[in-house]
Chains A and B, each alone.
Chain A
Amino acid sequence: MINKQVANVKEALKGVSSEMTFMLGGFGLCGIPENAISELVDMGIKNLTCISNNAGVDDFGLGLLLQNHQIKKMIASYVGENDEFERQMLSGELDVELIPQGTLAERCRAAQAGFPAIYTPAGYGTEVAEGKETREFDGKMYVLEMAFKADFSFVKAWKGDAAGNLIFKGTARNFNPNMCGAATITVAEVEELVPVGALDPNQIHIPGIFVQRIFEGKNYEKRIEKRTVR
């Protein structure tokens, strides 16, 4: 067993600095790496490029980094729940690249899987495809989209072990598995770090080879964005 366990979030984020590009898992506030985000806020590093489906809300998730003006560029698919984000974007303070959700997932997965680029039909004929190479396959048009290049991936899982194996829960899985191994260093935070051997190999979603550092996170708030009941 190759041991990936680190003591805490500080150790997990060693080597992180301003000007870097990060991938952050999560959909809305579901399955976001809360501990890593909180530490990035404390570190105060700036001019970051963040790749994440959403930009959090004003006072939680990536919204905390936005409030602090730590993000230079945001690559996301949907940013509707964040007034500060919209303000910074419309005023030009924040550079924003909005891309289709499936393209975002596949540009992560391509980086993970060693593909330099992928062809997708999403966005053909729209401003998303402007300036990009297009190609026809079997009578349908596709857009060439490049794999992401990132310095760190921050992902959140439900359970994990020191070997870096991960299991996700419910829809908190979302982009997290696709971002594992898609950056130079993948940092996984888990709600529960279990002893090696405790996870059934049949049930593991992400094998440890895709993870460089793992730690048990603390004080998960797991905020619900839109509590809806019958």
Chain B
Amino acid sequence: MLDKTGIAKRIAKEVKNGYYVNLGIGIPTLVANFVRQDIEVEFQSENGILGMGPFPLDGEEDADLINAGKQTITALNGASYFDSATSFSMIRGKHVDLTILGAMEVSENGDIANWKIPGYMVKGMGGAMDLVASAENIIVAMMHTNKKGESKLLKRCSLPLTGVDCVKKVVTNLAVLEVTKDGFKLLERAPGISVETIQQATEGHLIIEGPVPEMEL
């Protein structure tokens, strides 16, 4: 079973040369640490930077330079800053190649819920609804089950939706799955995890075709 770092490592392999990438808060933020060094990638943060660099060195933090998670960051050579309307023009206008975000639930038809638990937790959607409504390449990074052990890959989402029919791929601590018109197609297993374990942890329709390879990290 993978930990959060492992999920990030696996997703990093989906980042290709020449991509502009938007990383959500949580596990997705870790992905930047594992992208191959020999390819050119630029990270966009929707609060208004393209060409986001690593966290600053101690003592070099700048209150005017943060990411969408409100953490202090740095800007790489070639970076640019812009206003929020311009930022979402990049997103809505499909100029961003890959969006990686977290989720509370994903359904077998690609719906995603990640912004609200009615009566309990309401943090807001931030930029997530804009991202999932427009991005053509959306990968969800999440644990396969919740803290109660219940599946987060469902037939239908039970929580208020963030977007409909939009998620293309899900990477969890157990598996890599593609969202197809027929359900979740199992592409890879986490090291040491059996197909049966994944089947048990998946409420939505799971498609298993032939032997399922173990993921390479």
Residues on A facing B (Cβ under 8 Å): 27-31, 53, 76-81, 86, 89-90, 96, 98-106, 108-109, 120-128, 158, 168-178, 205, 222-230
A16 to chain B, nearest CB (A): 24
CA gap between A125 and B61 in the complex, in Å: 40
Q: How far is the CB of A53 from chain B (nearest CB, A)?
A: 7
Whether B127 and A100, one on each chain, are in contact in the complex, defined by CB atoms closer than 8 angstroms, is yes
What CA separation (Å) do A108 and B134 show in the bound complex? 20
Chain A residues positioned under 8 Å from B84 (CB to CB): 27, 53, 101-102, 104-105, 174-175, 178
A-contacting residues, B61-103, CB 8 Å: 61-73, 75, 81-85, 87-88, 91-92
Q: Which residues of chain A are within 8 angstroms of B160 by Cβ–Cβ distance?
A: 126-127
Please list the residues of chain B having a beta carbon within 8 angstroms of any beta carbon in chain A. Answer: 45-49, 54-58, 60-73, 75, 81-85, 87-88, 91-92, 111, 115-116, 119, 122-130, 133-134, 160-165
A106: B residues at CB distance < 8 A: 85, 88
Out of A80, A124, A170, which one reaches B65, CB within 8 Å? A170
Contacts of A223 in B (CB 8 A): 63
Are the CB atoms of A101 and B130 closer together than 8 Å? yes
Number of CB contacts from chain A to chain B under 8 A: 186
The residue in B63, B69, B82, B119 that gathers the most chain A C-beta atoms within 10 A of its C-beta is: B63
Assuming the contacts A102-B88, A125-B161, A170-B62, asked whether A230 and B57 have C-beta atoms less than 8 A apart, the reply is yes
CB distance from A191 to the nearest CB of B (A): 10
Assembled-state Cα–Cα distance A205/B46 (Å): 18
Tell me the nearest residue of chain A to B74, going by C-beta: A230
A158 to B92, alpha carbons, bound, how many Å?
A: 28
Once the chains bind, are A79 and B124 in contact (CB under 8 Å)? yes
Question: Does A171 contact B47, Cβ atoms closer than 8 Å?
Answer: yes
B124 touches A76 (CB 8 A): yes
> Would A121 and B72 be within 8 Å (CB), given that A78-B123, A171-B64, A229-B57 are in contact?
no
Of the listed residues B45, B57, B69, B126, the one surrounded by the most CB atoms of chain A closer than 10 A to its CB is B126
Q: Are A171 and B83 in contact (CB under 8 A)?
A: no
| Cross-chain contact B70 with A101 (CB below 8 angstroms) | no
Q: Is the CB of A30 within 8 A of B122?
A: no
User: Which residue of the partner chain, among A90, A109, A120, A174, contacts B47 with CB atoms under 8 Å?
Assistant: A174
Q: Which chain A residue lies CB-closest to B29? A: A228
Listed residue (A77, A109, A171) with the most chain B CB atoms within 10 angstroms of its CB: A171
